[in-house]
Amino acid sequence: MKTTQPGPIYATIAGFCLFAIAMCLARFAYAPLIPSLINNDWVTKAEAGYLGAFNGLGYIVGCLVALWLPRITGIRLLMRSSLILAVIGIGMCFWNLGFAWLSIGRFLAGLAAAVMIIHTTALIVKSFSENSKEKLLGFAISGGGITTVIISLSLPFFIVNGPSNGWLLESALTFFVGLVAWPFISKAPHQREPSKDSIQPLEPRRGRLVLLTGISYMLMSISILPHTLFLTDYMHRDLGLSVSDSSSLFAILGLGCAFGAIFVGILTRLFGTRMSLFISYIIGVSAIAMVLIFDSVTIVSSSSFLIGMSFFSAAALSSIRTLEIVGLSRHAHFWGFMALGWGLGIGGGSYAMSVLLSLGFNYIDLFKMAQVILIFSLGLILFSWWRYNDVPNFETIKQ
């Protein structure tokens, strides 16, 4: 039976909820809990990082699932299953049944997040007009940032007696926003997707251009880890803030995420996608430099706003840039592989940084490593701009 296309308002709200889960609740909402987890002896500093790595491993597996399983199950069943897994994975962490138990919960949450990241954009843009696409998509993506603000400001009231109630808050909110989005994903395609053979290969120059864009995107995922995974504990242990204050200040990163997602539409209208992507990477480099140069709580908090703005805008702009390079029919396929690269960066980077912490390195050393990686990533963006400047946007070719 044919399903009607949801209207743009509900599609935007559903997208907001799905991105809230995929970007915040199943992923970055873990960071404000880290000081409480360590202080209450749930995990050590290194184990807190390893839990982030398991979440990244789940994200990698989820990317593979999102790329190939729809040919068997269709999008609808896959998205429904992911929502259920997100609630289960986050809810499992309510009980401290050991590191292995928590690792499984974080793994399941990461898997669910990847599926939603890859397929939500393609599902909601079908309801948008060409003129409103960037604005509405930006607002939907801002769900991750706005939810981070809500979680960060709420958690201090829930973790007074330990992290259990914090996990309860996050799982309850995941369940609630999942209910809001459930009718929307119930209208997703049930039939199998076209096989891989139906995707025509790109011309070599376009293939190399999208590869450089994807490598830069993957490297950014590593460079943001000190902010998104370890910043709260850095502010607690190295800058002397209390657990509740450091968790609350993570909301500033969420504000940056929300602002960055919404600001994408304005930025692209003023400067175009390529220049806007360059600007987002410059903002990230500046944010890390602020942590390396200053040990002021105010400046470090400001840097978290800028890093949130940087990586959320870079995520949206990388998706738009991929669309320009490969065209609409190939976008989900190539964006899925870029999301897989992001997951590899998150998982591998989290594990590597956790090993460094266990070997006696300090948090500030991780920020130094992140700065080098992001500068190299910025160099790749500049190189791709210079080397493939003559490659026109796919929409231009079609006209």
pLDDT of residue 372: 97
pLDDT of residue 197: 46
With beta carbons less than 8 A apart as the criterion, state whether 76 and 181 touch.
no
| Separation between Cα atoms, residue 108 and residue 62, nearest integer Å | 9
Amino acid at 79: M
Q: What does the block give as tokens for 17?
A: 């909820």
Reading the chain (399 residues) residue by residue, the pLDDT tens digits are 455 677 888 989 999 999 999 988 998 888 889 888 998 999 998 898 889 889 988 988 998 888 888 878 888 899 999 999 999 999 999 999 999 999 999 999 999 999 998 888 878 877 777 677 767 777 888 888 889 888 888 888 898 888 999 999 999 999 999 999 999 998 877 665 554 544 567 788 888 999 999 999 999 999 999 988 888 888 888 888 887 787 777 788 888 888 887 777 788 878 888 899 999 999 999 999 999 999 888 898 899 999 989 988 888 888 888 888 888 777 777 888 888 888 888 888 888 988 898 898 999 999 999 999 999 999 999 999 888 887 877 754 443
Helix/strand/coil (H, E, C) string of 43-85? CCHHHHHHHHHHHHHHHHHHHHHHHHCHHHHCHHHHHHHHHHH
Name the maximum alpha-carbon separation found in the chain: 62
pLDDT of residue 307: 93
Instruction: Please give the model's pTM, rounded to 2 decimal places.
Output: 0.81
| Separation between Cα atoms, residue 18 and residue 80, nearest integer Å | 11
pLDDT of residue 107: 96
pLDDT of residue 127: 79
What's the CATH fold of domain 8-193+202-393? Growth Hormone; Chain: A; (1.20.1250)
| Separation between Cα atoms, residue 241 and residue 222, nearest integer Å | 25
Going from N- to C-terminal start, the domains of the chain cover 8-193+202-393
pLDDT of residue 159: 87
Amino acid at 390: D
